[in-house]
Amino acid sequence: MEGTSRARAAPPRVGLFVTCLVDLYRPSTGFAAVHLLEAAGCEVAVPRGQTCCGQPAFNSGDAGTARALARSIIDRFEGFDYLVAPSGSCAGMIRRHLPELFAGDAGWRERAEGLADRTWELTSFLVDVCGAPAAERLRGAEAPRGVRRATYHDSCSGLRELGVREQPRRLLAGVAGLDLVEMPDAEVCCGFGGTFCVKYPGVSGRMVSEKVENIAAAGAEAVLAGDVGCLLNIAGRMRREGRAGRVFHVAEVLAGMADRGIGEPAVGSPGTTAAGGGSGGGSGRGRAPER
C-alpha cells in the first residue's frame, strides 16, 4: 500500500463516493464496491450528505453549481486516505477537473488538488493501489448464473482520463467460470454522455445500437462496465431491441454479487433471485458485505 503515512498495521481508510447513479439506481453496485474494498483490506466509510460529483453541471458549462458541489465533496472526503468511486466518470471528474474549478482560488485549489491526487476509480484502486497481494485475495468469485462469456465495455472517462483498461480485465480473469471475450470497438463511446443522451436522442440511439450490436457480435451473454451511466444506456437499448444479454457493473461480478442484471424484473421472472428483498424492490437482496 503506497501513499499513506499511517502505521503499517492500520488499514487504509477509504471514503466511498457512491455516485448519484449508484445511489439512486443501483445500490447493488455500492454494496459490491464495499465488499471488494474490505476484502482488499481497506476500512470503508460512506460519508453522509454526499450527492453528485458535479459533472453534469460542469459539462453543461455551469461552473457555479459544479464548484458548490466540489466544495461539499472536499469537505466530506479530504479526511480519508482515499476517495474511491465505482465510476470512471465521477472519479475522472474529481481527479482531473476538480482543481481547475478553483483556478482563481489558491486555498480551495490546493485542497482540491490534495483530494484529486487521492481519488481513484474502483478497479484501478484495487489493482494499482492495493497491489498484487490484495488483488490476489479478490480472486475466486463465481460467475453470474447462466453467464459464461462476458465482454467488457471501456467507459470513456475511465479509459481516457484515468487509464483504466487492463485493471478490470485483470480482476475479471480471476472470476471462476467466466470467459472474458473482447467485442469490436470496446473502447468506442456507447452514446451516453450524460445530458447528451437526452438532448440528442437520435445520435445517441445510433451510437448505443452499434454498441449493442458489437456486444452481440462478441457472442457474450453479459456486458460489464465500470459506469452505471453507460450500463443504463446499454441495458435500456438491449431491452428496447428485445435482446437477451445481461448487464452488470464490473464490481458486482468481481464481488460474486451479480444477481439481477440492470433492467431485469425484480419479481415474477425466472432466473432472478430476489432473495431478502423485503422492502423497496430488490435493494435488500444479495449478500451483505462481509466484515
Residues 173-232 that bind other proteins (CB under 8 A): 187-189, 191-209, 232
Instruction: Please say which residue, 45 or 216, places its beta carbon nearer to other proteins.
Output: 45
Residue 205 CB, nearest distance to other proteins (Å)? 3
Residue 211 CB, nearest distance to other proteins (Å)? 9
- 288 near other proteins, rule: CB under 8 A: yes
Q: Which three cell numbers stand for residue 135?
A: 488483488
Q: Which three cell numbers stand for residue 69?
A: 458541489
- 82 near other proteins, rule: CB under 8 A: no
What contacts 107, CB < 8 A, 6 or more positions away?
none
What contacts 242, CB < 8 A, 6 or more positions away?
none
- Considering only the stretches 15-23, 143-151, 173-181, 249-257, report the one whose residues sit in contact with other proteins under the rule CB under 8 A: 15-23
Residue 170 CB, nearest distance to other proteins (Å)? 22
CA–CA gap between residue 254 and residue 168 (Å, rounded): 9
The most distant pair of C-alpha atoms in the chain lies apart, rounded to whole Å, by 57
**65: exposed, middle or buried (Cβ count in 10 Å: 0-12, 13-18, 19+):** middle
C-beta of residue 235 within 8 angstroms of C-beta of residue 212: no
Residue 179 CB, nearest distance to other proteins (Å)? 25
**Of the candidates 154, 93, 138, which has an alpha carbon nearest to the alpha carbon of residue 119?**
93
Looking at the DSSP bridge assignments, the partners of residue 150 are 180, 222
* Count of residues in the chain: 291
Per-residue mark of binding to other proteins, 35-74 (x: CB under 8 A): ---------xxx-xxxxx-x-xxxxxxxx-x--xx--x--
- Considering only the stretches 14-22, 122-130, 171-179, 217-225, report the one whose residues sit in contact with other proteins under the rule CB under 8 A: 14-22
- 161 near other proteins, rule: CB under 8 A: yes
Binding other proteins (rule: CB under 8 A), the pick from 36, 94, 143, 156 is: 156
Number of residues that bind other proteins (CB under 8 A): 82
What residues between 232 and 271 interact with other proteins by CB under 8 A?
232-233, 235-237, 239-240, 262-269
